[in-house]
Structure formats: structure tokens, C-alpha cells
Amino acid sequence: MQGGLGLLGVGGSGSANELTFSKVEKEYDHHPAESDELELGLGLSLGGGGSGKSKGSAWGECGRILTAKDFPSAVSGTKRAADSVSHEGGSPPSISQVVGWPPIRAYRMNSLVSQAKAPRSEEEKVGSEKEKSKDTLKKKICNGNKTNNMFNEKGHLGFVKVNMDGLPIGRKVDLNAHACYETLAQTLEEMFFASPTSINSIVSGAEKKDSSTKSSKLLDGSSEFVLTYEDKEGDWMLVGDVPWGMFLSSVRRLRIMRTSEANGLGPRFQERNEKPRAKPV
């Protein structure tokens, strides 16, 4: 049940989960309310577009309904929640776009925002087919992981530095956007190996993959590089040994290291990748 449209007595339902108050037109009727008799059947007066900030007083027979236009946009220090997710094209903005609503302390809101960067929920529908399959793929890969998807509540500092041997300029990756090693490795491969504009002159041609490759060569040891991370104690560790959540809680930064430099690690065997996972089609 949604607030806005329902109030008008209009039959439309839209999608039940959307809070659409911000979409509906505001009535700018300045007459004070007369009786308390509410005739919600009356259509919302479509008089008046907005003059920016004017609130208009009356509610009249219909609900006070506000558009996002009514809310002063010039509030500095606005901490808005993560960008609203489009369910389909032209969907209403999320309630989080109303400044200061819901009234949650900014500190708590920031914590919530960083949790929101966790793996995308199943309700999400992404535009292109390719992205869709990528997402399904991601989920498929991650669901094979025994660990709970809720693991990666690392908090707001989801971004860690990633450096690759031989490249002077590093990147940053948001760990909160991943629920397992596979998707992380894929993202890193896309970042460092797939993009034609990346500085990969030193990467041998054999390492360049196209982005449709699904298996993560960084994890299975077949590449010239291995993925390592520095943990809280300052030690450099191979990525993939510990449960994902434990990895999240101890990782400080990542390094894509030449296999030859990874002393004592040797070539990685297929079995190292111990978590049973359906190989993507």
C-alpha cells in the first residue's frame, strides 16, 4: 500500500513496495481547511505547479502531498543515503532523498549507507540483459559460498587500495560490493587486465582477457599474477584461504603480485580453491 496514490482514492496500485509520496502533485490551495470531513474521493486539485519553496497551507479535502521540489535543495551538509535504486525506468525516488527524513541521526545514517553497499538484493532489476546475467551469475557464484551473505557488514570503509606490481598508479575497490572472492577477483581482473585504457603495457599479451571470461585466473593460480592482501598485523597473505567475512575483517589493502615474487607460494593448485562452487556457464 502506498501513501500517495492511494490517498487519492485512485485505484492504481503500482508496485506495492514503492513509497510514492514524493511523486504525486502537490495541491497549492491556500484556503484554510473547513470541516474535518474528509472527502478523499475528490481528486487532488491539479492547480498550481510549484513555485519552488512555497509550501501552500491547505490540505483541503485531500492529503498534503509533497513533491521533492518542495524541499529546499540548498541544505549543506546533507547526508543522503545511497543513491536510490531504480527498479524500472522512471521509478520514484526513494524516501531517502527527502532531506532529513526519516529522522535518523547522521552518524547512524552513514553506518546504514555503508551497509547498503552490501551485495545487491534479489529485487534489483538491472537494465541490460548482460548485466542481468552478470548479476545472476554473481549471485550464483556467491550462493555457493557457505558463508552468509550478511558477512560483509564491514562498515563504511569498504574501499581498499589495490596495487599491481609494475604499475605506479593504484586503484581502489569497494569490498562491501562483494560477497565472495570470485566476484572480487573478476572486478579486479576487469580493472587491471581487461580495460584497453588501463596502463598494462607491461602485462604480456597472453594475460589480457576479455571481460566475458568467467573464471578468475587471479584465484586459481593460472595467471602470471596472484592476489594477495595485507592483513591487520602487517603480513602479506594469499587471498582466498579464510572465510570471506574473516578476510573482510582483517584486510587492509590488496596487491596483485607477480607469482614469481610470491616466495614459497609456488603454483597454485586447483584444489586450493576449496569452496565448492558451480562453475558458471
Partner 1 sequence: MLRKKMNYFPDEVIEHVFDFITSHKDRNAVSLVCKSWYKIERMSRQRVFIGNCYAISPERVIARFPELKSLTLKGKPHFADFSLVPQDWGGILYPWIEAFAKRRVGLEELRLKRMVVSDESLELLSRSFGNFKALVLVSCEGFTTDGLAAVAANCRSLRELDLQENEVEDHKGNWISRFPESCTSLVSLNFACLKGDINLAALEKLVARSPNLKSLRLNRAVPLDVLQKILMRAPQLVDLGIGSFVHDPASDAYNKLKATILRCKSIRSLSGFLEVTPRCLQAIHPICHNLTSLNLSYAPGIHGNDLIKLIQHCRKLERLWILDCIGDKGLGVVASTCKELQELRVFPSDLQGGGNAAVTEEGLVAISAGCPKLHSLLYFCYQMTNAALITVAKNCSNFTRFRLCTLDPVKPDPVTMRPLDEGFGAIVQSCKRLRRLSLSGLLTDQVFLYIGMYAEQLEMLSIAFAGNSDKGMLYVLNGCKKLRKLEIRDCPFGDTALLTDVGKYETMRSLWMSSCEVTLGGCQTLAEDRPMLNVEIINEDGQIDFSADEKQKVGKMYLYRSLVGPRKDAPAFVRTL
Buried b (16+ CB within 10 A) or exposed e, 173-187: bebbbbbbbbbbbbb
Inter-residue contact 232 to 252 (CB < 8 Å): yes
Q: Which of residues 85-104 bind partner 1 (CB under 8 A)?
A: 85, 94-96, 98-104
Question: From CA 8, how far away is CA 238, in angstroms rounded?
Answer: 59
Q: Which of residues 218-257 bind partner 1 (CB under 8 A)?
A: 232, 243, 245-246, 248-250
Q: Which stretch binds partner 1 (CB under 8 A): 75-83, 187-195, 218-226, 271-279?
A: 75-83
Q: Which stretch binds partner 1 (CB under 8 A): 54-62, 172-180, 181-189, 191-199?
A: 54-62
The CB-of-211 to partner 1 minimum distance in angstroms stands at 28
Angle at 81 between CA 120 and CA 5, to 5 degrees: 85
Q: Which three cell numbers stand for residue 188?
A: 579486479
By CB under 8 A, name the one of 12, 36, 201, 264 that touches partner 1: 36
**Residue with smaller CB distance to partner 1, 109 or 265:** 109
Residues in the chain: 281
Q: Is 67 in the site for partner 1 (CB under 8 A)?
A: no
Residues 6 or more apart in contact with residue 70 via CB below 8 angstroms: 26, 50, 53, 55
By CB under 8 A, name the one of 59, 120, 140, 170 that touches partner 1: 59
Radius of gyration of the chain (CA): 25
Q: Is 42 in the site for partner 1 (CB under 8 A)?
A: no
Q: Is 65 in the site for partner 1 (CB under 8 A)?
A: yes
Q: Is 270 in the site for partner 1 (CB under 8 A)?
A: no
Q: Is 148 in the site for partner 1 (CB under 8 A)?
A: yes
Inter-residue contact 68 to 75 (CB < 8 Å): no
Q: Is 198 in the site for partner 1 (CB under 8 A)?
A: no
What number of chain residues touch partner 1 (CB under 8 A)?
79
